[in-house]
Structure 1
Amino acid sequence: MDEKMKWSLAGLCLVPLVMVLGNSMLIPVLPALKNELGISQFEASLIITAFSIPAGIVIPVAGYLSDHYGRKKVIVPALLVYALGGVIAGLGAVILKENSYPVIMAGRVIQGVGAAGTAPIAMALASDIFTGAARSKALGVIEAFNGLGKVLSPILGSLIALIVWYAVFFAFPLLCIPFAIIVWMKVTEPSGNLNKQPVKQYLKGILKIFSKQGATLLAAFLAGSITLFILFGLLFYLSDILEEKYHIDGVYKGFVLALPLLVMATTSYVTGKKVKSKPKKMKSIAVTGLIVIAVGSGAAIISTNTYFQMSALMIIGFGSGLVLPCLNTIITGSISAEERGLVTSLYGSVRFFGVAIGPPVFGFLMKISSQIMFGAMSILAGITAAIAFFVIKVKKSG
C-alpha cells in the first residue's frame, strides 16, 4: 500500500469513528439526562432513535448524491451538519435547562441527517480506492475503527459528563470539524466512477442489481441490522442495570460498557485482515458470527448475575465482530463502483434502523423479563443465521 492510499485509509477511518459517537457516547449519559430533564426511560431512549431514524431515511439520498457528484463532496458537508446538530442540542440544554428536551431532540435529528453522509459513504469510497484482498483488509480496518469508536465512546461520554451532562453535545463539533478538513485534504478519491445518469435511469440500474442479487443483498442487510439491533439494545439494558441496580456510573460504567465493544472491534480488525478475498469463507464466518450471537444471548438466560451476563455480552461482541466486516465485503463486492454509493447507503440505512429500534424494544422487554428478552434475541439471531446460510450467494469481489 503506497503512502497516498495509507493516508486515504487513515482519513476514511476517522469518519465511522466520529459517526458512531453519535449514539454510543450518549448511552452512559442517558440516566443523568433522564433525571435532569424529568423524562421517562422511553423518552430517554428516543434520544438514540431521534438520531438513527433520520439517518436511516436520508442515507439513500446521500448515497445517490455521492454516486452522482462524488464521495468527498457528500462526506465533508455531512460532517459539518453533524457538528451543527451537536451545537444546537448543547445550547438548548444550556439555555433551557430542564425544558430543553424538544430542542435536544431537534439537534439530534439534525445530527442524524449529517450522519447519513458519513460512514456508509466512507465505506463506498474505500471500496472505490481498494480492490481484491486489499479491499477486504481496508473494510475490516474501517469496521474496526467503527468498533473502536463504540469502545471509546462510553468512556469518553462518561469522562465528558464529569464536567456536566450536556457537555457531551459540544464534543461533536470539536471532532467533526477537524475530521472534515482531514478528509478533504488527505483522502484521494478515484476519478471516473461518477454516475451522471438521470435519476430515473439511475434507479432502473439499481432495480436491475436487486433483480439479480436482491436475495443476497436483502439477507445481508437483515443480518447487519439484526446484529446491531441486538448489540445496541443490550448496551442500553446494561447501562440501565449498572446504574439502577448496582449504582455504578461515571467513568467506571463507561469502561464496563466498553468491554464487549472492545471484543467486537478487535474481532472485526482480525477478521478483515484474515478473510481477504475468499467469498465462501466470508459467508461461513458471517453465519458463524450470527450463531455465536444466538448462543451468547441464550446463555444470558441461565443467570441474572451481572458478571455472567457481561460474559454473555462479550460473546455477543465477538460474534458481531465476525459478522460485520464480512457483510461489508460481500455487499460492496457485489456491485459496480457507479452504483456502490446508493447500495452501501441502503445497507447503512438498515444498520441505523437496527440501532434506532434496539433501545426502545429492549426498554419494553426489560419491564417484562430479562429472560424473555434474551430468549427472544437468541431466537432472532438463530433465524437470521439460517436465512443468511440459505439465501446469501457470494461471488469473488473485484
Structure 2
Amino acid sequence: MSEAVLSPVRIGRLSIGALGILALALGTLQSVVEPALPLLQRELGVSPSEGALVGNTLLVTGAVVAPVAGKLGDRYGGKSVLVRLMAVVSAGGLLAGLAPNLPVLLLGQVLQGVMVGALPLSFILVRKHLPTGESQLAIGVVMALFTGGGMVGTLFAGPIAEGLSWHWMFALPTIAIIAMTLVITRLMPHDPPVQADNRIDWPGMALLSGTLLAFMLGLVKVTGDGLPPLAVGAIAVVVAALATGWVTVERRAASPMVDLRMLAKPAIWHSCVLTLVITTSFGMVAFLLPQLFAIPADGYGFGLNTTDIGLFLLPGAIAGAVSDSLGGVAARRFGLRAVLIGGAAVTVATVIALVSLHTAEWQLVVAKVLIAIGAGVGSTALLTRTATAVETRDTGIATSLLVVTRVIGVAVGSQVAAAILDAGADSATGLPTESAFATGFAMAGLVAALSLLVVRMTKKGVQA
C-alpha cells in the first residue's frame, strides 16, 4: 500500500537506453521471419498461406497478450510485468531456435508473441518516470529502436540462415533479450502501481482475450483454408458474442479492464480506426514484396535468396525506424491531420504505382521506403497522441489497445495478401501469377485510400 503513494524515481539515460536496446532485440526477433519466409516455406514444405501463419502466429499471441500486459502493468507496475514477459519471450525464442518442424516452430512463435506487450509496459515506465515532453520523446525512441530491430533482423536473417541455419535467426536475438532483461532488472527503478486498491477485472480480461483470439484465428482460417460460408458465419457469430459479452461485463464492472468512456473519446477510437487502416495496407505490401523478390527470375520475378532479399528490404527498415522516431515530433510541429494526410497520400500513390511498376529491384526498394515512411509517421503519431491523451493510470491499457490494433492490421494485411497469392497460383507451377501480385498491390492501394476518407470523416476528432 505504501508503495502506491511514493513519488516515482526519475530514470536516467542508462535505464532508457536499456529499454531501447531491449526493444531493438525484440524488433530483431520479430522481423527475422519476413526476409526468410520464402526459405522457411521451402525447408518446411509449406504454402504461402501457411508461411504467413508462421509470422502471424506471433501476432495472434501479441494481440491477445498486449492489453492484458498493459492492464497488469498499470496495476502492479511496468517493470515487474515486463521482466516476467521477457522470460516467456526468451523461452519462445529458444524453442524456435531448437524447433525440428513446423508445429514446434509455431509453438515458439506463440510464446514469442508476448513481446508485443513489452511496448505498452515500456510506455508505462517512461510516462511514470519522465515529464510529458520527455516521455513523448522517449516513446518515439523506443518505437524507433523496435522498428530499428526490424532493420537488424532484415539485414542479418539471410546471412545467419544461410551461413549457419534458420534456427540461429531466433536464437541469437533471444540471447540479447535475456542479457538486456537482466540489465533492466538491475538498473530500472520499480514503478509504483497506480491502482493498488482495485481488483483485477479477470472476466473482462478473459472475454477480451477470447474475442481477440477468436478473431485472429478466424482470420487465419478464413484466408488460408477457404472455409464454407456457414463456417465463416459461425466464426463471426462467436466473435460477436464474445465482444458483446465483454462490453456487458465492462459496463457493469466496478473496476473494468477498459473504461468504455475512455474508448468513447475521439482521440482513442479515431486513432484505433486510422491505425487499423494504415497498418492493413502496410501489412499487405510487407508480405508481397519478399514473395515477389523470391519468384524465379526466368519469369517476372527476381530469384533472390534470403540474404539478397534482406539487403533489398533494408532501406525500407531504416526508413521505418526513422519515421517512427519522428512521428510524434512531426505531429506536434505540423499537426496530426497534416501528417496523416501526407502519409496516406504517399502510400496510396506508391502502392498504386506498384501495380504496373514492379519489374526492377529498385522500384520495389523505393516503394518499400516510401510506404514505410508513410505508415510509420502516421501510426506513431497516433500512438504518441493516445499515450498523452489519457490519464497516467490508463497509459498501459490505452497504448496496448493501439498496439493491438497495429498488430491486427498487419496480420489482416498479410493474410489477405497471402490469400490473393494462393487464389492466383498457376496450376502447373503452383507459383503465384504476376496478375496476382498486381491485384494484391491494387487492393493495398484501395485500403490505404480509406485512411484519407477516415481522416475526412473524423476531422474534428483528429484535430482534438
Q: Flag whether TM exceeds 0.5 (same fold).
A: yes
Measured in 2, the distance between the counterparts of 1:33 and 1:361 equals 20
Change (3 A) 1:381 1:395: closer
What residue in structure 2 maps to residue 224 of structure 1?
275
What residue in structure 2 maps to residue 393 of structure 1?
461
Secondary structure at 1:240 match in 2: helix
Q: Work out whether residues 235 and 257 of structure 1, in 8 Å CA contact, stay in contact via their aligned partners in 2.
A: no
Comparing 264-273 with 242-251, which one deviates more in the overlay? 264-273
Equivalent residue letter for 2:69: A
Which residue, out of 10, 13, 18, partners 1:6? 13
Which residue, out of 364, 370, 373, partners 2:419? 364
Secondary structure at 1:118 match in 2: helix
Secondary structure at 1:393 match in 2: helix
Q: Work out whether residues 93 and 112 of structure 2, in 8 Å CA contact, stay in contact via their aligned partners in 1.
A: yes
Secondary structure at 1:117 match in 2: helix
What residue in structure 2 maps to residue 193 of structure 1?
194
Change (3 A) 1:219 1:332: same
Measured in 1, the distance between the counterparts of 2:13 and 2:156 equals 27
Measured in 2, the distance between the counterparts of 1:82 and 1:139 equals 21
1:242 Cα deviation (Å)?
Answer: 1.4
Measured in 2, the distance between the counterparts of 1:188 and 1:385 equals 43
Identity of aligned residues (%): 21
What residue in structure 2 maps to residue 311 of structure 1?
366
Change (3 A) 1:4 1:135: closer
Q: Work out whether residues 68 and 196 of structure 1, in 8 Å CA contact, stay in contact via their aligned partners in 2.
A: no
Q: Deviations over 1:17-43 (max 9, x none)?
A: 233234311112222221122222211
Q: Deviations over 1:334-383 (max 9, x none)?
A: 11111111111111111111222232211222335222222221221121
Measured in 2, the distance between the counterparts of 1:58 and 1:4 equals 26
Change (3 A) 1:310 1:149: same
Measured in 1, the distance between the counterparts of 2:342 and 2:384 equals 16
Aligned residue pairs, count: 384
Equivalent residue letter for 1:336: E
Cα RMSD (Å):
2.4
Equivalent residue letter for 2:140: G
Comparing 259-268 with 53-62, which one deviates more in the overlay? 259-268
Secondary structure at 2:461 match in 1: coil
- Tell me, yes or no, if structure 1 residue 300 matches structure 2 residue 301: no
Measured in 2, the distance between the counterparts of 1:106 and 1:126 equals 32
1:129 Cα deviation (Å)?
Answer: 2.8
1:205 Cα deviation (Å)?
Answer: 6.5
Measured in 2, the distance between the counterparts of 1:394 and 1:16 equals 28
Q: Deviations over 1:49-99 (max 9, x none)?
A: 111011101211111111110001111111111110122222232xxxxxx
Structure 1 unpaired stretches of 5+: 94-99
Q: Work out whether residues 346 and 371 of structure 2, in 8 Å CA contact, stay in contact via their aligned partners in 1.
A: yes
1:108 Cα deviation (Å)?
Answer: 1.0
What residue in structure 1 maps to residue 288 of structure 2?
237
Measured in 2, the distance between the counterparts of 1:152 and 1:26 equals 12
Structure 2 unpaired stretches of 5+: 1-8, 202-252, 296-300, 425-434
What residue in structure 1 maps to residue 169 of structure 2?
168
Change (3 A) 1:37 1:190: closer
Measured in 2, the distance between the counterparts of 1:124 and 1:389 equals 32
1:172 Cα deviation (Å)?
Answer: 3.7
Measured in 2, the distance between the counterparts of 1:376 and 1:26 equals 23
Equivalent residue letter for 2:267: T
Comparing 221-230 with 78-87, which one deviates more in the overlay? 221-230
What residue in structure 2 maps to residue 96 of structure 1?
none
Q: Work out whether residues 330 and 394 of structure 1, in 8 Å CA contact, stay in contact via their aligned partners in 2.
A: no
Measured in 1, the distance between the counterparts of 2:406 and 2:123 equals 13
1:216 Cα deviation (Å)?
Answer: 3.1
1:134 Cα deviation (Å)?
Answer: 2.0
What residue in structure 1 maps to residue 38 of structure 2?
31
Flag the structure with more relative contact order, 1 or 2, with Cα contacts below 8 A and sequence separation at least 6.
Answer: 1
Change (3 A) 1:274 1:355: closer
Secondary structure at 1:203 match in 2: coil
Larger Rg: 2
What residue in structure 2 maps to residue 97 of structure 1?
none
What residue in structure 2 maps to residue 147 of structure 1?
147
Measured in 2, the distance between the counterparts of 1:7 and 1:45 equals 37
1:135 Cα deviation (Å)?
Answer: 2.7
- Give the TM-score taking structure 1 as reference length: 0.88
Equivalent residue letter for 1:304: H
What residue in structure 2 maps to residue 267 of structure 1?
323
What residue in structure 1 maps to residue 448 of structure 2?
381
Q: Deviations over 1:309-353 (max 9, x none)?
A: 332222111212321321121111111111111111111111111
- Tell me, yes or no, if structure 1 residue 72 matches structure 2 residue 79: yes
